[in-house]
Copies of this chain bind each other. A is one copy, B any other.
Amino acid sequence: MPPKTANREAGYFATLAAERSDIALCRASTVVARAAEARANESGIGVGQHLVLKMLAEVGPSSQRILSDQLRIDRSVMVGICDGLEQAGHVRRERDAGDRRAYAVTITDSGRRLLARAEDAVPEFLDDTFADLTPAEREQLSALLAKVLRLRP
């Protein structure tokens, strides 16, 4: 347990993080997000683009609305993500025949190849960013975050 009388300045953040989990969560998020973006860029892709390709590969063609909702990416941002993927040829944007307001965003073979490369880098990335956690602790963290996000009851 840290001393009751807080250190006068150095290490104040540790005290704060212990007391305010919300702050700890936000600060952890920014370092993790930075690292994730850097890793994704090494594969020549953004994190958002990676997630879009991943979802398209797993659930099939989807509208930008569904992608936005399920990936928790703002619809305005999704426009730019899909623009990039489409220009690079990793995705096709066809109008959905049944609902011509919506696109049917579809992953291409090029997209699948890029996705495969990006996915290869994920395990090592997770291992690095959660290096100080045992496998059991990583499971715990995952479960706790799911509760904070109010996912499955």
Q: Is the CB of B21 within 8 A of A141?
A: yes
Given A28-B25, A32-B22, A62-B9, A144-B140 contact (CB < 8 Å): yes
Residues from 132 to 153 in A contacting B, C-beta threshold 8 Å: 132-133, 137-138, 140-142, 144-152
Residues of chain A touching chain B, judged by Cβ–Cβ distance below 8 Å, are 2, 6-18, 20-33, 35-36, 51, 54-55, 58-60, 62, 66, 69-72, 122, 125-126, 129-130, 132-133, 137-138, 140-142, 144-152
Chain B residues with CB under 8 A of A130:
21, 148
Which secondary structure dominates where chain A touches chain B? helix
Copies in the complex: 2
Interface contact A21-B138, CB-CB below 8 Å:
yes
Shortest CB-to-CB span from A92 to chain B, Å, is 18
Chain B residues, Cβ within 8 Å of A137:
144, 147
